[in-house]
């Protein structure tokens, strides 16, 4: 089969490159990794032409406009990449009976709910980034629901606080921990840090069966985050402690991190205070998928955010990447 991965140079795109290589999937399938240089997602014709050329059976859209604050100024560009581009991919998928794997965000919610957001909760984004991602979700849903093809299927995986090979919160904190002996971090925004490598692995478990061929699954929304929840402050303290224990040369230790409210760190784009995502739909699906299969895949699915962050930080320290 043909697999087309958009966003090859982003955190999730690089994670897909690693995971697909680890499973030696290029020996089984033709895999096209595409970045901005090969296809500018703000150009709908370029996407259509690429889809026509590569004829993917599986489209993985790991690309997105992710500059949350800049989006407040670049509204048209954010919508072109986060809403129009996935719509073009969805149109191709329903026409050709392909599978579309797309990613969305906790920012489609307003964060006022007291408990974790479920897959079925109504969207109410606060800023342009969240609105453009919500528009992408809606476009995919509408296109698939209005032109049902029994073979075409989609999964929209909402995730949060992603970290991998690229700029992210954990790397920023560890860089600051080498430079400064005091920092302030927001302690009243709640969410779940998610490893890009884990997200790519879980994604493939959803769309591919044990023989690495496409499986059928219920189209719809899945919240893809590991177990647990935290705040930016707790995450910063945890990452610094793990780095210190792993032997990193730091100026900052967790007791030198000050917890502050979000109101003390104003940013151009509004952010949800509660970014916690519940994952009942994904748990149900993974329970079905994992029945009678490889136990290690199941164990990976049950990992907590702490286990994943610890692995990530230890790896950064070991390879001197901080
Ligand atoms: N990062 C998070 O904390 C977070 C949280 C929740 C949800 N998500 C979602 O998770 C998914 C993956 O995020 P990520 O962290 O991997 O994002 P990322 O590291 O920012 O990567 C996004 C990729 O999209 C590419 N891209 C942007 N504009 C493009 C354009 N016009 N044409 C072609 N490619 C373009 C970028 O290309 P360049 O490399 O050339 O810039 C980049 O490689 C996204 O759907 C995002 O919305 C992320």
- Domains of the chain with bracketed CATH: 2-167+193-228+276-303 (3.40.50.720)
Asked whether residue 51 carries a pLDDT value surpassing 90, the answer given is yes
Higher model confidence: residue 179 or residue 322? 179
As a whole number of angstroms, the distance between CA 310 and CA 141 comes to 36
Q: Measuring from atom 42 of ligand 1, which residue has the nearest CA?
A: 10
Asked whether residue 298 carries a pLDDT value surpassing 80, the answer given is no
**At 294, is the pLDDT very low, low, confident or very high (cuts 50, 70, 90)?**
low
Cα 33 to ligand 1 centre (Å): 14
For CA atoms 300, 221, 51, 39, the dihedral sign is negative
Ligand 1, pocket-test mutation among 162, 223, 224, 308, most atoms within 8 A of CB: 162
**At 292, is the pLDDT very low, low, confident or very high (cuts 50, 70, 90)?**
confident
The three-state secondary structure class of 104 is strand
Paired sense of beta strands 99-105 and 58-61, if any:
parallel
Whether 92 sits among the annotated catalytic residues: the reply is no
- Out of 92, 129, 163, 312, the active site residue is 129
What local confidence, expressed as pLDDT, does residue 297 receive?
A: 64
Assigned token pair, 224: 């893809």
Cα 61 to ligand 1 centre (Å): 9
Ligand 1 atom nearest to 107, measured from its CA: 6
Q: Are 110 and 272 in contact (CB under 8 A)?
A: yes
Q: Are 209 and 215 in contact (CB under 8 A)?
A: yes
pLDDT (average), residues 169-191: 97
Cβ of 193 closer than 6 Å to ligand 1, yes or no, is no
What is the biggest distance separating any 2 CA atoms in the chain, rounded to whole angstroms? 58
Q: Percentage of the chain surpassing pLDDT 70? A: 98
Ligand 1 atom nearest to 196, measured from its CA: 16
Flag the least confident range among 119-128, 137-146, 279-288. 279-288
The three-state secondary structure class of 281 is helix
**At 77, is the pLDDT very low, low, confident or very high (cuts 50, 70, 90)?**
very high
Cα 215 to ligand 1 centre (Å): 26
- Computed over its alpha carbons, how large is the radius of gyration of the chain? 19
As a whole number of angstroms, the distance between CA 291 and CA 187 comes to 39
Cα 236 to ligand 1 centre (Å): 23
């Amino acid at each position: 089969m043909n697999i087309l991965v958009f966003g090859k140079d982003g955190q999730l795109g690089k994670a897909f490159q690693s995971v697909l290589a680890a499973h030696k999937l290029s020996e089984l399938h033709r895999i096209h990794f595409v970045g901005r240089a090969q296809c500018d997602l703000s150009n709908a014709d370029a996407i259509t032409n690429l889809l026509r050329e590569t004829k993917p059976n599986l489209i993985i859209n790991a690309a997105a406009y992710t500059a949350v604050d800049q989006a407040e100024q670049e509204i048209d560009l954010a919508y072109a990449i986060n809403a129009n581009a996935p719509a073009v991919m969805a149109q191709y998928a329903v026409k050709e009976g392909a599978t579309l794997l797309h990613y969305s965000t906790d920012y489609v919610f307003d964060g006022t709910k007291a408990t974790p957001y479920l897959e079925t909760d109504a969207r109410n984004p606060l800023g342009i980034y969240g609105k453009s991602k919500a528009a992408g979700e809606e476009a995919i849903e509408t296109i698939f629901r209005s032109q049902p093809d029994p073979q075409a299927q989609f999964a929209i995986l909402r995730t949060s606080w992603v970290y991998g090979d690229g700029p992210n919160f954990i790397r920023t904190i560890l860089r600051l921990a080498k430079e400064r002996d005091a920092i302030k971090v927001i302690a009243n925004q709640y969410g779940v840090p998610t490893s890009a490598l884990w997200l790519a692995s879980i994604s493939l478990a959803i769309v591919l069966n044990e023989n690495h061929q496409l499986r059928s699954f219920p189209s719809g929304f899945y919240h893809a985050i590991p177990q647990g929840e935290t705040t930016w402050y707790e995450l910063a303290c945890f990452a610094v402690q793990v780095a210190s224990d792993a032997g990193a040369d730091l100026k900052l230790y967790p007791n030198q991190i000050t917890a502050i409210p979000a109101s003390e760190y104003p940013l151009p784009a509004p952010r949800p205070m509660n970014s916690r995502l519940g994952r009942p739909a994904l748990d149900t699906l993974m329970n079905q998928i994992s029945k009678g299969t490889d136990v290690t895949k199941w164990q990976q699915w049950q990992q907590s955010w702490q286990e994943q962050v610890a692995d990530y930080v230890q790896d950064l320290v070991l390879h001197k990447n901080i």
